[in-house]
Chains A and B, each alone.
Chain A
Amino acid sequence: MLHPTPHEHHQTEPIVEIRNLSCGYGSYPVLSNITLDIYSGDFVGFLGPSGSGKTTLLRSILGATNIYNGEILIDHIPISSKRPRIGYVPQLQTIDWNFPVTVEEVVLMGRTMNSILFPWHRKTDTEIAYAMLSKLGIANLGKRHIRELSGGQQQRVFLARALVSNPNLLLLDEPTTGVDIKTRDEVMHLLHDLNHQGITILLTTHEINAVAAHLPTVVCMNNTIIAKGSPSDIFTPQNFLKTYNTELLVIEHQGMTLVAESPHLDAESRTERDS
């Protein structure tokens, strides 16, 4: 079991400030009226159905959407005026696993802008990359092709790429989707460790019990923010109804607030249950 204890806040100033944000792609709006503060050391999960704008919110922070209204500030500076130092880990499903690239080459991509004037990576870049791989326990895999790794190792490679640029903020898009239970636990423990080392983490997830319930802060969203707080505060049938447009049964189990996922019932059983 994970420990939903956030890294202690030493700063009272927010690292990310989202003010009345409405944004989308082209003329297609996705998010409206989002106001949210993220503080240094926070570990926040965005929860919501497909198409609810979780990924769009991360992409907005990265400056990759059309902002129709409002603004986003990172360290009090609008993202439109200065590119913030952010580590980003994409969904593993979007990676081209047949691309001829080794673990070392992928991690070094994260150092590209640190030595842009040099055609090749400097020795110090390689040392930093291997130090990060070592920290994540996969230094021995540096020369391996990315397809030859397990799901957990693959996630660590892309985490290492994000971390070698020394970001203040780490964004992860569904880091546990499509991986087995063991890998999911590995990844979540690793993220908690990184958070306890002071890195602010924002992630999106579909997994209420396995991921969101273990996080210190969760934001329920459906094109706008429905609720923000600790799982025990915001995991309520009312909030889930607004988020998923369906009723979910909320239970307490060993001190954790979880959702009871009921089996598929036929019409007769549903009537019996509802009565």
Chain B
Amino acid sequence: MFEPLQYEFFLRGLLAATLVGGLCGLIGTYIVLRQMAYIGHGLSHAIFGGAVVSYVLSINFFIGASAWGFLSALIITLTTRRKEIAADAAIGIVTTASFALGIAIISRYKTFTRSFDAALFGNILGVSEQDLWAIVIVAAISITTIILGYKLLLFTTFDKEVAQFYGIPTGWVDAGFSLILAATIVVSLQVLGVTLIASAIVIPPIVARLLTNSFMRMVILSSVIGSLCGLFGIYLSFYIDVSSGATIVLFSTAVFGLVMAYTAIRHKGQIKNISNFSDL
């Protein structure tokens, strides 16, 4: 069981997967409850475009891609203020355009196509010390922001329009959230890749939602589930020799299936108890 821990690359990957899993689970709670589950998938594609542009302009990947992701998230939020445009449509337009821009630049400069394999499919065992530090910093900033803005985020997520009537600065709350969302996706790219990131953002909060009716418990549960899926997923990938990103996603999906079955059985049991009670 401790065999893989003797490899430094594995230890870094394990830490990265656990932190990224927890971070995506935390941010994902707000994403899922805002019914914007598609944004994780879309924004990771948009950030891919930003990563390519950063490369071309020789800007630091983390700074360039985060700024690009933040800008995309902000444009999506502003676009959805128009009642005629639904969130999924806005995400579809902004993020695919950004992704297409990345593809266009890659096709123009074919020489560096291979450098983006990790961003597309994730390469957890290639996580460098610099990547790990970036994850730790983003996790620390995100957790602090969410703790400090807990009440504001809850009200804005529950009912943005009414929150505004009660004096909540919803524009600033949205902007702050977009910033930590973009940073989370950027640091998660190396671990899970553009194509798999959506599941890390969506599955843990959905599992947590099945288990609780309280917002605070959902936030905590989702973060813990995300972390554990990252931890066990990467361990499993070592033993079954399958891509780590894919194993984390499949492990999370299995957890979702099990919790879904458990809650269905529990629900059935409750109905049976009620019918037994009414028979008396």
Contacts and interface: CB of A to CB of B under 8 A. Distances in A.
- By CB atoms of chain A within 10 A, which of B165, B212, B215 has the most? B165
Given A109-B158, A119-B151, A100 B166 contact: no
B87 to A, nearest CB: 14
A224 to B, nearest CB: 24
Give the 6 A-B residue pairs with the shortest CB-CB distance, closest first: A145-B213, A113-B167, A109-B155, A62-B165, A88-B165, A112-B151
B165 A86 contact: yes
A96 B158 contact: yes
Nearest to B162: A90
B240 interface: no
B90 to A, nearest CB: 17
A109 B162 CA distance: 10
Interface residues of A, number: 27
Contact of B150 (A83, A86, A90, A120): A120
Interface string B211-234: 011111110000000000000000
A51 to B, nearest CB: 15
Contacts of B214: 100-102, 105, 145
Given A88-B162, A100-B218, A113 B168 contact: yes
Contacts of B158: 96, 99, 101, 106, 109
Given A83-B167, A109-B166, A113-B167, A64 B161 contact: yes
Nearest to B158: A99
A105 B209 contact: no
A90 B159 contact: yes
Interface string A85-109: 0101010001110011110011011
Interface of B: 33, 147-152, 154-155, 158-159, 161-168, 209, 212-218
Contacts of B167: 83, 112-113
B213 A119 contact: no
A121 interface: yes
Given A100-B215, A102-B214, A112-B155, A119 B165 contact: no
Contacts of B164: 64
B159 A102 contact: no
Contacts of A223: none
Contacts of B154: 101, 105, 109
Contacts of B212: 100
A119 B166 contact: no
A165 interface: yes
Nearest to A144: B213
Nearest to A147: B213
A198 interface: no
Nearest to B150: A119
A231 interface: no
Nearest to B155: A109
A40 B216 CA distance: 39
Contact of B166 (A95, A113, A120): A113
For chain B, what secondary structure do more than half of its interface residues adopt (helix, strand, loop), or is it mixed?
helix
Contacts of A95: 159
A45 interface: no
Contact of A112 (B33, B168, B216): B168
Contacts of A101: 154, 158, 213-215
17 contacts: A62-B165, A88-B166, A90-B159, A96-B159, A100-B214, A100-B215, A100-B217, A100-B218, A101-B214, A101-B215, A112-B151, A112-B155, A115-B151, A116-B151, A119-B148, A120-B150, A120-B151
A110 interface: yes
Given A90-B161, A100-B212, A112-B167, 10 more contacts: A83-B167, A86-B165, A99-B215, A100-B213, A100-B217, A101-B154, A102-B213, A108-B151, A109-B151, A119-B151
Contact of A119 (B147, B159, B161, B168): B147
Contacts of A108: 151
Nearest to B147: A119
B215 A105 contact: yes
Of A64, A109, A121, most B-chain CB atoms within 10 Å: A109
A121 B155 CA distance: 13
Interface in A206-234: none
A86 B166 CA distance: 8
Nearest to B168: A112
A110 B215 contact: no
Contacts of B161: 64, 90
Given A100-B218, A101-B158, A112 B166 contact: yes
A27 to B, nearest CB: 13
B212 to A, nearest CB: 6
Contacts of A86: 165
Contact of B151 (A62, A90, A121, A145): A121
A225 B268 CA distance: 54
Nearest to A94: B159
Contacts of A99: 33, 158, 215
Nearest to B83: A25
